[in-house]
């Protein structure tokens, strides 16, 4: 992560790719479109990334990293209530921090498949882990549906263009509130200082 002039195009490239991915989907975005948006040629794009898959992974990486970390931290808690609270607050924070990305994650089959092939057990692993913690051991159908609606709803709402005008603070407050209601957690005014990550 040396911040030099050499990284400038790379950074712009990833930002542009994310934007195009959210507009057209991963599979619907060609390297030509990315190159055009940057005012360079396809060949120049290939100087920075060997394959399109590499671009996709690099775009998703920050979100995957944070999510991975969050799941580990939550799983390390002893009491289930603490696990759920930490996971919910951390997930909302993550959604706010990576608004566009998370919406892509929860929806775009192209992104999900790309991640699948790269690092860990893919998105499924994360989904199962999150749902497992949120719905608890031996969950009722109600608990499973609640957890699923909470997770996907928070992710989609966070990335929704319809709510893009809401400030981070307002959106975070409301998403937390919704999540607590769905998961049967006590509602609080100020979120406990669970993390700064």
CB 71 within 8 A of CB 88: no
d(CA 83, CA 47): 44
Residue whose tokens read 């990284």: 7
Rule CB under 8 A: say whether 154 interacts with a copy of itself: yes
Within 50-79, the residues that bind DNA by CB under 7 A are 50-53
Structure tokens given for 147: 């957890």
Q: Which does 56 bind (CB under 5 to 8 A by kind): DNA, a copy of itself, none?
A: none
Rule CB under 8 A: say whether 81 interacts with a copy of itself: no
Rg (CA), the chain: 18
Q: Which does 42 bind (CB under 5 to 8 A by kind): DNA, a copy of itself, none?
A: DNA
> In terms of Cα–Cα distance, which of 145, 155, 157, 129 is closest to 182?
145
d(CA 135, CA 167): 29
Q: Pick from 25, 46, 97, 131: which binds DNA (CB under 7 A)?
A: 46
- Binding interface with a copy of itself (CB under 8 A): 22-25, 27-28, 106-110, 113, 127-128, 131, 140-142, 144-146, 148-150, 152-154, 156-157, 160, 162-163, 166, 170-171, 174-175, 177-178, 181-182, 194-195, 197
């Amino acid at each position: 992560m040396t911040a030099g002039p050499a990284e400038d195009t790379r950074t712009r490239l990833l930002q542009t790719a994310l934007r195009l991915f959210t507009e057209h989907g991963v599979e619907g975005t060609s390297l030509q479109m990315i190159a055009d948006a940057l005012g360079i040629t396809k060949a120049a794009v290939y100087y920075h990334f060997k394959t399109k898959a590499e671009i996709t992974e690099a775009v998703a990486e920050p979100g995957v990293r944070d999510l991975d970390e969050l799941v580990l931290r939550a799983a390390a808690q002893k009491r289930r209530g603490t696990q759920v609270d930490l996971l919910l607050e951390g997930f909302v924070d993550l959604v706010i921090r990576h608004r566009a990305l998370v919406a892509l994650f929860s929806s775009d089959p192209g992104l999900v498949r790309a991640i699948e092939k790269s690092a860990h057990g893919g998105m499924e692993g994360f989904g199962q882990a999150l749902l497992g913690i949120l719905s608890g051991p031996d969950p009722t159908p109600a608990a499973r549906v609640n957890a699923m609606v909470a997770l996907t709803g928070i992710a989609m709402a966070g990335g929704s263009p319809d709510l893009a005008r809401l400030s981070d603070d307002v959106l975070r407050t409301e998403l937390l509130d919704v999540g607590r209601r769905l998961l049967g957690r006590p509602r609080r005014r100020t979120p406990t200082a669970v993390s700064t990550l």
